[in-house]
Structure 1
């Protein structure tokens, strides 16, 4: 079965691209403006063509070098875009950088790449919320005259084996001849994975005698990990409401640790005095379902932000498989 090709924009740490690779897509170009994220991509896939550039400044027609024009004859354009702000004020929705990136992706698809399929993953509200109706209309206006048809739907990463309640809004646009062949991916698991189940092997790695008891009470699916803003503080697990949920599972969501507990349950880098355990960067990657050998460039905070912003690879794989089946017929 032939491999398919893709261009991936706003690639981040590579979660979506990795999932698509597993589903049969080989990227001819990955684009991101974050130098640390680009370093992560190159560390893990040295053969990938990674371009460190802002999507809003990217014009392969006027500036083709070092890009191969033939590279844009691809099956899929994919984008795990920064989250469009969910706000009651239309003005904020219309002027946010995230929305500009969304529009730039659509324009890239419509005027340059024109792939057989377009995949955009973002907030659930992009699919259903009234304040994003104009955005949805804009996308369809740009693409419908090029013979694209659209599937809008929401999926939850937990349904695909990711130990996290992470709802994602998805747009899959396909050329009309492929449209009827596409079906949104069905869940791959019948039971969601709890925090305790996912983290027990790692949190007991130094022999903590209370690890099994801790895992037994961490018996719920964790809330959505967030990457946070590059302009805000250090690494943590989210806003106040999410931190309360983490605390109910015995996890201190206010910061990350440098190590898992020792046999006595002590984390040397944790000076908070709290009985709650802090997660490590590696454990947040487990909650995003990255493989153990996927490494992240940068220091702890930059690593945590890359992980929190990423699309979980199993979601990308499921979406990629559904798109590949439609394209291959």
Structure 2
């Protein structure tokens, strides 16, 4: 096993990707996000990290005095590449994909890892991918896009991520995508049963038997729309099938006065707390998420699950260290 590597992360959010990469052997030189709550979260958990609260686009081209890093990593907002609604791709003011490519031109890191929505791989955005690939080719990188589902890497949630990995050709020949470590995610009931019983709720076992599938994709992290609920109507219906009231987040788990009765609809099933959603995202129990409930939930909902980030990061580290890791 070789030494550790240096990374630079953009769009870090609650820190899920950075945490997974840290476990895989990458220490960030700089971590960037424009959300003050996210930056406070990052500083609370890793006081030693250099966290910059700024628009990443303002970082590109600035005199940041960083020559290069081993890995440029980050999460790219999914909204510009969503299939639903109006999308503007690289013309969307929320797009960071183009800026990430510009930073790669500046730093020319040994490796690049970017995560976004699988919709980016749809035919609608073929021109966007071609533009990115043209720049990567010009910089003499080899690359590959892939979609991985976090539930096959120990995360109790159906969560598909589009990943772009790029490296120098010699390093890329040693890169291989991680193989699934789990057949499927644990069920919501298995993961959250103990926490549901924390205040003596007598129906915890009965509830866990109803919450008998992996969680649907955690959504609701938009900085512009939405509040502390688990997403749009269709998503709420999926949660109701798991005996969860997804119309809002709970301040605490049920006490012994709350009666489980799914026939009453959302009033007869429990809400999830932010801490429980963190578990479904694969975030550790001791990870501190700052802000009030809605701000905390939005950070958590946008997270790249650390177990998946770690799995991919270990394969990148192995390629860069020219041997197994």
Tell me which interval the TM-score lies in, with the shorter structure as reference length.
Answer: over 0.9
* Matches for 1:1-329 after TM superposition, within 5 Å: 1-59=2-60, 62-64=62-64, 69=65, 71-83=66-78, 84-87=80-83, 92-98=88-94, 100-110=95-105, 112-127=106-121, 129-265=122-258, 274-329=267-322
Deviation at 1:222, TM superposition (A): 1.0
Q: Deviations over 1:81-140 (max 9, x none)?
A: 211332378863343234x31110111112x1111110011111223x101111111111
- How many Å separate the matches in 2 of 1:195 and 1:88? 27
TM-score between the two structures when normalised by the length of structure 2: 0.93
Deviation at 1:191, TM superposition (A): 3.7
Deviation at 1:34, TM superposition (A): 0.7
- How many Å separate the matches in 2 of 1:55 and 1:302? 20
- How many Å separate the matches in 1 of 2:147 and 2:140? 23
Q: Deviations over 1:262-294 (max 9, x none)?
A: 123369xxxx97002100010110110100110
Moved more, 49-58 or 78-87: 78-87
- How many Å separate the matches in 2 of 1:20 and 1:294? 15
- How many Å separate the matches in 2 of 1:203 and 1:228? 24
Q: Deviations over 1:179-211 (max 9, x none)?
A: 111111111113421111111111111111110
Aligned residues: 316
- How many Å separate the matches in 2 of 1:192 and 1:173? 28
- How many Å separate the matches in 1 of 2:33 and 2:114? 15
Conserved in 2, the CA contact under 8 Å of 1:256 and 1:279?
A: yes
TM-score between the two structures when normalised by the length of structure 1: 0.92
C-alpha RMSD of matched pairs (Å): 1.8
- How many Å separate the matches in 1 of 2:266 and 2:84? 39
Q: Deviations over 1:289-316 (max 9, x none)?
A: 1001101111000000000011011011
- How many Å separate the matches in 2 of 1:115 and 1:317? 19
- How many Å separate the matches in 1 of 2:223 and 2:58? 20
- SS of the aligned residue for 2:236 comes to helix
Q: Which segments of 5 or more consecutive residues in structure 1 lack a partner in the other structure?
A: none
Alpha carbons of structure 1 residues 24 and 306: separation in structure 2 relative to 1, 3 Å: same
Q: Deviations over 1:196-250 (max 9, x none)?
A: 1111111111111110110011101111101332233421111111110100110
- How many Å separate the matches in 2 of 1:89 and 1:231? 15
- SS of the aligned residue for 1:274 comes to helix
Deviation at 1:80, TM superposition (A): 1.2
